Amino acid sequence: MTQTKNEHREKMVRYLEKIRYIKSDPVKNAFLNVDRSKFVPNHSKEDAYRDTPLQIGFGQTISAPSMIALMLEVSQLRYGLKTLEIGAGSGYNAALLAQICGEENVVTIERVPEVYNFCIENLKNAGYNIKVILGDGTKGHEEDAPYDRIISTAAAPHVPQSWKDQLKEGGLIIAPVGKKRYYQELLVSKKMPDGTFSTSFYGGCVFVPLVGEEGWKE
């Protein structure tokens, strides 16, 4: 008998728990609630629940579920946290963020117009009402600042100053930082009461480049 979409999702979540990438109930419930197949192109629907990155077109990718789980766990999310995502891509991670923080508290930015349209369409089809901005996320998004969390799903050469400025005291920046292509470290930086940052690294990762004024040149 073929498995239903829900069974595929439950199986993926069991696997991510077993390998200790999913550790908390909020992250587990988010993965159980968001249908990843609604965020991948038609030709990849069958691969939606494999633990692998997938092409979404225009040279961009949706990260592997294990990488997304790791990022969500280190982000220490909870309902009510104002969260800015840089690199909306397919909208899948924004939907997971909305599931945990509340959709009214999530803003996501995408710089490629075609990807932005793909994201809007996916979020609509999946039933989410999340603010999606078309623009250069290396400058953050002043209008909704300050944020409790700024999460970049594109690889930065360094943490842009605007993200530091738009973060609340006690807030976290989560971003892959390192080389333009193929190797970065996952950084988590906390804003201290005196305005300085306390930074930890959570291992190697591979993300597409953050392209923009305070990021990489195209």
In angstroms, rounded to a whole number, what is the distance separating the alpha carbons of residues 32 and 39? 14
Q: How many residues does the chain have?
A: 218
First CA to last CA across the chain, in angstroms?
A: 47
Distance CA 167, CA 149 (A): 7
Rounded to whole angstroms, the Cα distance separating 54 from 20 reads 22
| Residue 89 near ligand SAH by CB under 6 A | yes
Q: Does 35 bind ligand SAH (CB under 6 A)?
A: no
- Binding to ligand SAH by CB under 6 A, coded x per residue (else -) over 152-191, reads -xx-------------------------------------
Contact, 135 vs 116, CB < 8 A?
no
**CB atoms inside a 10 Å sphere around CB 106:** 28
In the structure encoding, which two tokens stand for residue 163, read together? 């993200």
Q: CA separation (Å) from 44 to 38, 124, 127? A: 10, 19, 20
Stretch that binds ligand SAH, among 12-20, 42-50, 132-140, 176-184 (CB under 6 A): 132-140
**Cβ nearer to ligand SAH, comparing 55 with 199:** 55
Q: Which residue in the list 63, 75, 90, 189 is annotated as catalytic?
A: 63
Is 63 annotated in the active site?
yes
Residue 107: CB minimum distance to ligand SAH, A: 12
Among 86, 101, 167, 172, the residue binding ligand SAH under the rule CB under 6 A is: 86
137 binds ligand SAH (CB under 6 A): yes
- Binding residues (CB under 6 A) for ligand SAH: these are 60-63, 86-87, 89-90, 92-93, 109-112, 115, 136-138, 153-154, 208, 210-212, 215
Residues acting as catalytic residues? 63
